[in-house]
Amino acid sequence: MKLYKVSSFNYLFLLLAIIIQISYTAQEKKCRDSITKKNIILNATALGATSLSYFGLYNLWYKKYPQTSFHFFNDFEEWNYMDKMGHVFSSYQVARKSHLFLDKKNIEHPLEKSCFYSLFFMLGIEVLDGFSTEWGFSNYDLISNFIGTGLFYVQEKKFNAQFLELKFSSHLSPYATYRPTLLGNSFSERILKDYNGQTYWITLDFNTRIQEKFKILKYINLALGYSIDGFTGARYNPNLNCAECDNLKRQSQYIISFDLDLTEIETKNKFLKLFLNTFSIIKFPAPALLIQNKSQFKWLYF
């Protein structure tokens, strides 16, 4: 297959954005009798913004790495499945936040559209991976996206509520200093790239009958987390000529803690409500029990 140059990708994604926008607008014109003008504008804007976000993502991230022909890549066991947890979390949150937006704007079938949007958006990122020599299109990433989106869809469809929520937290681990190019150099890079500092959580809402007697439990959920420790490489730790880093023990961590549910805080202030909703994807710092080879208790874990 022909190798694509960086400049070709710029034109490719600009062209993709234009084609999608035109085709979507044409399709909406056929349904104008059953869909309001407001819905058409909102849906077209969302799709156009998505196309442009791919273009921006490519220039900010993928442009730094060499491009190649489209290919697949098996990354299932890398980083002890932390990357897969990230895909489950991301697809869940994209579906949840887009559903909140569509529902407030009174768009028809907000649940189905938000879940489709989540899968579509995450698929686009996977296609970008497929053209990068650094990564590749991963079928396991695709499965993870379906799991995250499905978790949101099933709960919303059957219960009209999210009893199981996915959240994220991250702290600076000491391992980034051993491989800053891979695990991050700056603060923001280390938060996003160093899997050793990341934790993905599933929070469980307590029984409503208990909450009726003890009002404080309305704001507190049980949180179960997963993370890793001692990883300086995806599949194995390379020899870095460093006594400390070469003797690291790669292990998974299972964490038990509790979380503060910010969405349960009632307020009429629109800015505060937006703030609480935005940061509801982050696990609240709290005492935690880390279960690993040598289990330990931390008074404050994030």
Q: List the chain domain ranges.
A: 163-302
- Please state which of the ranges 8-22, 42-56, 225-239 shows the lowest mean pLDDT: 8-22
Chain mean pLDDT for the chain: 82
Scanning 31-109, the segments in alpha helix (DSSP H) are 37-60, 82-104
Please tell me the predicted confidence (pLDDT) of residue 258.
Answer: 92
User: How confident is the model over 258-289, as pLDDT tens digits?
Assistant: 998 877 777 777 777 777 777 889 999 999 99
- Using CA atoms, how far apart are residues 191 and 168, in angstroms rounded to an integer? 11
- Determine the residue type at 237: N
Q: What share of the chain is helix, strand, coil (3-state, %, to 5)?
A: 55, 15, 25
pLDDT at residue 175 is higher than 50 = yes
Instruction: Based on DSSP, count helices (H) and strands (E) in the chain, helices before strands.
Output: 10, 6
pLDDT at residue 91 is higher than 90 = yes
